[in-house]
Structure 1
Amino acid sequence: MNIRAIYPVRLREERKKRGWTQKKAAEKIGISRSYFSDIENGRTLPSGEILFNINDEFQIFLIICDADRVRNESGRKVTNTEVKVNG
């Protein structure tokens, strides 16, 4: 599963579930509305502290696999772009 495809979808779902605007969500996370929009629309990915803030606020957890050491349940090597998103 590609992080750029699923993370923005889950983020938007969680924001709308709370009835928040992008502005309110951005304020809760501590970023600008335009940066939040870029994340939610898949134009950029959060990193570092911002990712932790989003995860804390929305309970969207990413498990990013190391392709050289991790295999998925079927035994197939997981690529660097595959992630598991739950929340």
Structure 2
Amino acid sequence: MNKENKLGLVVDVETTGLGPDSDEIIELAVKLFSFHEESGEIIDILDEDSYLREPLSTTAQRNYDRAYRIHGISYDLVRGKTFYDEK
């Protein structure tokens, strides 16, 4: 990567709802890229990944059906999953 290129990171988050005290994050998707500082043109996708997590609280689990209608991530996809914290 030359001096004129910079790094950027896009993060997408899906949750079981909008309540910070009652809902939980169930998906984190990230994309690391390099871009030209002056033009803003994306040069390369350096890394990308998506992580799923089963909600732990009973409130978040109870709200899941309503959230599913918005994000389309079935409970079967998140069941038993946890985020890969090391990465």
Name the TM-score class by shorter chain. Answer: under 0.3
Q: TM-score, normalised by structure 2?
A: 0.24
Larger Rg: 2
Q: TM-score, normalised by structure 1?
A: 0.24
Return the structure number with greater relative CO, CA threshold 8 A, min gap 6: 1
Higher fraction of helix? 1
Higher fraction of strand? 2
